[in-house]
Structure 1
Amino acid sequence: MEAGKHDRGRSGASIPGRFVAEAGLTVPRTVLIVSPYFPPSNLACVHRARHLANHLPAAGWTPIILCVDDRFYEQDPDPLLGSLVSPELEIVRVPALHARMTRRFGIGDLSLRAWSALSSRAADLLSARRIDAVLITGSPFYPMLMSRWIEPKFGVPVVLDFQDPWVSAWGADQKPLSKAGLSHQLALRLEGPALRKARFVTSVSTRQNEELAARHSWLDASRMAALPIGGDPGDLDLLRAMPDIRRSRLDPAMINLSYVGTALPRSHGLFRVLFKGLAEMRARQPGLAARLRLHFIGTSNQANDSETFSILPLAEAEGVADLVAEIPRRLAYAEALGLMARSHGLLLVGSDEAHYTASKIYPALLTKRPYLSLFHRLSSAHALLAAAGGGIHFSFTDANGLAGLPQDIAAGLERLALDPASLGQPRQDHLEPFSARAIAGSYAAIFDGLR
């Protein structure tokens, strides 16, 4: 493998942090953040590390990012998203095996392709630098296995951050001998060893932490925290940098309601109910329905996929496909943010799993557009949206509750289309605890407590 790249910012100096006294000297406290993907990647998993990299310095910690060089990503880069990263940030980039070679053997996971480089570079940094904590965030999850040797060998505590479940209900439903089923079996075997040596564990929801603790009874609940991805108001600066040509996705003559993000398999039941509600709305308001267009953008989560339609078949089954437009290809972050900001209203749809917390709700709330949401009642996303306001909120606890919602959703769609001003805007005091700055402060407090 070729040598990795080491970016030290424009001046070559690290970001200044808070200082602590040690042996009569002052040294900055530093955290190594291991995140295989990092901007200019536009995958959803980059935002945790991006937010922390930008906001930890104000909370007294100097971040170093350890990631894979973007030349080895399979997705096209998002330069505008990359522009939101501080130019002073220290980024250590390592090479990986090329996917075109490893996929012949059924391996595409970036962290596996870069396993050797990530592990050896982490060890080099821990040997040569004063590092006070290590945060490993996933997915991808395999780098979390580095926790087994980092503290025993270097005396540096490790925090593991689960942005999604490594062991998931969806994985358990897969055929045992399928690739997804085998990945699930591997996750079952590896999650425990990774957690054993971690000093602290975070995830995006309390429910996800409870599920981790149920699988591993030895986990100490006092060493766990639920910290959502959050949102950064500074991201709205991207809207001013976007080319105007991207405005053509929405027809200005229509009332455009937009869903932006992956359509997960366990979300399909919720989309069916949404379309049943749309069909009921058209039955009683055909004129309004003719002016309405529901957009579903980036549903495949693949940057180069323009053919995998998962939403249109659901709309066709309910007889409303003519009111629905789907673009499977995942948009660049800036374009997705701009599309939400220019929509008349937003559709925020979760999953039938209670732990599910959609990271996309935070940028959606930043745009201050009115919305209609549909989440499991125990989801932290539903609790946040209901408390913050600014939209119409639907929830359920089981299949029967979900099946009973179409009439209410029909009325909600009417209100969102005809009287969005009546919904007001989200209360900023409820959103501040979920800002990137506040979340970074929570992580800084965790790091402070590790010593």
Structure 2
Amino acid sequence: MKKVLIISPYFPPSNAADMQRVRMSLPYFKEYGWEPELVVAEEIYSDMIKDSLLLDSIPKDIQVHQVKAFSKKWTSKFGLGSIALRSLFFYRKKVNELLRDKHFDLIYFSTTQFPVCILGPFWKKKFGIPYVIDIQDQWHSEYYQDKPKSERPKKYWFSYRLNKYLEPIAMRNVDGLISVSEAYINTLKTRYPKLVNKPCSTITFGAHQLDFNIAKQNSSLSESVYNRDNGKINLVYIGRGGFDMQQSVSLLLKVFKKGIDQNADGFKNIHFHFIGTSYAPKGSGIPTLMPIAKNLGLTDYVTEYTDRIGYYQSIDHLLHADGLIVLGSNDPDYTASKLYPYILAKKNLLAILHLKSSAAQILEECNAGLLIPLDSDADRAFDALKSYLNKVKLKVTPSTKWQEFEKYRSDYLTKKQVNLFNSIISTN
């Protein structure tokens, strides 16, 4: 059996989006001929919300090594809050020890904490081990360059320059890429022509049925962020907000306002809940979606909860909602990995997405919900919303094509990762 060493600074119980691919793949790697070991940062160095139930989804026989990190209390004084930068020295030391003592066929970086990836070429040169990088998001991106400063992420000036410097170091000798978006891979191939001849595979995050089993078994532990007995039809969106989401929420709420103004049937008793919209520490998040509702006079129909909630608490909210909303970015390369839990919840689903996004293609392919394209005119969007609200009110069962959905499940997508691993090993 071949061995892969997985680098993922965030790991359960930290509820970080970028460790979900690894977590969902761990039960299946051995089935496809690969034994995984992980190197993760100790949870005390993670400021992500913790969900201890995530540990229930990890196979007990998986070996997990932990590394320390410099305290954020001190490094943040110099603008270095990233767990990747804080743990880089400790990763180098620990993995050096592992590679001296054990045999591994491949190193797999699966994280959006990209600075750790610069260790890939170092280990490849020192130990002769090929490495793969999982591009779950754009590392160096020009997306915000033409945006006003008010819409740029915190510390953008520093991160933009750091990413522009570090990305070439990691990409120069990488042996293969996995990405949630084909567009991300194409961008990197344009920047680094050598990648054209490297194995690359577009693999979305997987749909993990085990998570729903865990959530249902522990439903009594999940506290709702809103009163479920409020006499309203509760429509739920769980995920980040941000300026790139404002176009989709504006379209949604403007056509909803039209229904309210026209006293259209099925509109009055609706309440939208936008949950976990900020990555900021608890209680300090700044609403980015609620201002739109205020401007439209819809504060009685909309609530934004900026605080992140636990992973299984999120699933519990999906299962208890009357209907679900998926908001998409105005960036066509954005991939809404959260789409799969929404589909598995088997609720009526309305998505507002860029038509070029992979999420829009998956939704339509599986007939899993009603899609409003981001560039829809008001009349088309209004008709779609009215149809959706009618389905929610009547509790119509979604007509999802589950056979089409099979190829998005975590076991199938783990096999796709392994196929890329095997192609790299066969050429090294």
TM-score surpassing 0.5? yes
TM-score, length-normalised on structure 2? 0.93
Q: Deviations 1:402-439 (Å, cap 9, x if unpaired)? A: 66754234424433433441x62422222211111111
Report the CA distance shift for 1:283/1:178 in structure 2 as closer, same or farther (over 3 A). closer
**Partner residue in 1 for 2:416:** 442
Q: Distance in 2 between matches of 1:111 and 1:388?
A: 37
What does 1:210-221 correspond to in 2, within 5 Å?
210-220=186-196
Residues 19 and 110, structure 2, Cα contact 8 Å, conserved in 1: no
Report the CA distance shift for 1:138/1:247 in structure 2 as closer, same or farther (over 3 A). closer
Q: 2:238 aligns with which of 238, 244, 260?
A: 260
What does 1:107-146 correspond to in 2, within 5 Å?
107-146=80-119
Q: 2:171 aligns with which of 190, 195, 216?
A: 195
Residues 367 and 399, structure 2, Cα contact 8 Å, conserved in 1: yes
Q: Deviations 1:215-237 (Å, cap 9, x if unpaired)? A: 22332165211111112100012
**Partner residue in 2 for 1:93:** 66
The DSSP-based 3-state class of the residue aligned with 1:131 is coil
What does 1:258-297 correspond to in 2, within 5 Å?
258-285=236-263, 288-297=266-275
Matching residue's letter, 2:203: L
Q: Distance in 1 between matches of 2:88 and 2:409?
A: 32
Structure 1 unaligned blocks of 5 or more: 1-27
**Partner residue in 2 for 1:67:** 40
Bigger Cα displacement from structure 2, 178-187 vs 66-75: 178-187
Structure 2 unaligned blocks of 5 or more: none
Question: Which runs of structure 1 show a deviation greater than 6 angstroms over 4 or more consecutive aligned residues?
Answer: none
**1:172, distance to aligned residue in structure 2 (A):** 2.6
Q: 1:47 aligns with which of 20, 27, 31?
A: 20
Q: 1:382 aligns with which of 332, 336, 360?
A: 360
Residues 388 and 426, structure 1, Cα contact 8 Å, conserved in 2: yes
Report the CA distance shift for 1:45/1:305 in structure 2 as closer, same or farther (over 3 A). farther
Q: Distance in 2 between matches of 1:31 and 1:412?
A: 48
**1:120, distance to aligned residue in structure 2 (A):** 1.4
Matching residue's letter, 1:393: L
Q: Distance in 2 between matches of 1:254 and 1:144?
A: 48
Residues 30 and 62, structure 1, Cα contact 8 Å, conserved in 2: yes
Q: Deviations 1:218-257 (Å, cap 9, x if unpaired)? A: 3216521111111210001222113256247342321111
Identity of aligned residues (%): 25
**Partner residue in 2 for 1:305:** 283
What does 1:349-368 correspond to in 2, within 5 Å?
349-368=327-346
Report the CA distance shift for 1:402/1:376 in structure 2 as closer, same or farther (over 3 A). farther
Matching residue's letter, 1:288: G
TM-score, length-normalised on structure 1? 0.88
Query: RMSD value over aligned CA atoms?
Result: 2.1
Q: Deviations 1:16-57 (Å, cap 9, x if unpaired)? A: xxxxxxxxxxxx211001000011000111101111222211
**1:131, distance to aligned residue in structure 2 (A):** 0.3
The DSSP-based 3-state class of the residue aligned with 2:300 is helix
Matching residue's letter, 1:210: N
The DSSP-based 3-state class of the residue aligned with 2:201 is strand
Q: Distance in 2 between matches of 1:405 and 1:68?
A: 48
Q: Distance in 2 between matches of 1:213 and 1:98?
A: 36
Matching residue's letter, 2:220: P
**Partner residue in 1 for 2:403:** 429
Matching residue's letter, 1:58: E
Q: Distance in 2 between matches of 1:186 and 1:300?
A: 23
**1:279, distance to aligned residue in structure 2 (A):** 0.5
